[in-house]
Amino acid sequence: MLDQVKIILVGTSHSGNIGSAARAMKVMGIEHLVLVDPQCEVDAQAIAMASGASDIALNATTVATLDEAVEDCTLVVGSSARSRTLEWPMLTPRECGAKFAKEGLQNKVALVFGRERTGLTNDELQKCHYHVCIPANPEYSSLNLAMAVQTLCYEVRVAHLEQEQAHFHADVETEYPRHQELERFYHHLETVLLETQFIKPEQPGQVMNKLRRLFSRARPEAQELNILRGVLTAVEKRFRHSK
User: Are 76 and 157 part of one and the same domain?
Assistant: yes
CATH of the domain at 163: 3.40.1280.10
- Mean pLDDT of all residues in 158-183: 82
Asked if 7 and 153 count as a contact pair (C-beta separation under 8 A), the reply is: yes
The reply to whether 174 falls in a domain is: no
pLDDT at residue number 152: 98
User: Are 142 and 201 part of one and the same domain?
Assistant: no
Spatial distance between the Cα atoms of 51 and 70, rounded to a whole number of angstroms: 28
User: Are 224 and 135 part of one and the same domain?
Assistant: no
User: Are 213 and 152 part of one and the same domain?
Assistant: no
Spatial distance between the Cα atoms of 140 and 134, rounded to a whole number of angstroms: 12
pTM for the predicted model, two decimal places: 0.83
User: Are 154 and 222 part of one and the same domain?
Assistant: no
The reply to whether 48 falls in a domain is: yes
CA 201 to chain centre: 28
pLDDT at residue number 172: 54
User: Are 141 and 193 part of one and the same domain?
Assistant: no
Q: How confident is the model at residue 173 (pLDDT cuts 50, 70, 90)?
A: low
How confident is the model over 12-36, as pLDDT tens digits?
999 999 999 999 999 999 999 999 9
Spatial distance between the Cα atoms of 121 and 108, rounded to a whole number of angstroms: 23
Asked if 100 and 73 count as a contact pair (C-beta separation under 8 A), the reply is: no
User: Are 100 and 190 part of one and the same domain?
Assistant: no
The reply to whether 100 falls in a domain is: yes
User: Are 155 and 183 part of one and the same domain?
Assistant: no
Distances (CA, A) of 54 to 22, 37, 82, 184, 192: 7, 20, 33, 37, 48
- Which of 131, 151, 169 is a domain's end point? 169
Provide the number of structural domains found in the chain: 2
Burial class (CB in 10 A: 0-12, 13-18, 19+), 141: exposed
82 CB neighbour count, 10 Å cutoff = 8
Asked if 105 and 1 count as a contact pair (C-beta separation under 8 A), the reply is: yes
- Which of 129, 149, 169 is a domain's end point? 169
Q: Which domain holds residue 235?
A: 179-242
CATH of the domain at 219: 1.10.8.590
How confident is the model over 112-148, as pLDDT tens digits?
999 999 999 999 999 999 999 999 998 888 789 999 9
How confident is the model over 30-62, as pLDDT tens digits?
999 999 999 999 999 999 999 999 999 999 999
The reply to whether 195 falls in a domain is: yes
Tell which residue, 81, 92, 21, 86, has the closest CA to residue 57.
21
Starting from the edge strand earliest in sequence, which strands make up the sheet with 90-91, in order?
61-63, 32-36, 5-10, 108-113, 73-79, 130-132, 90-91
More confident residue, 202 or 21: 21
More confident residue, 156 or 174: 156
Spatial distance between the Cα atoms of 79 and 68, rounded to a whole number of angstroms: 18
- Which of 110, 140, 169 is a domain's end point? 169
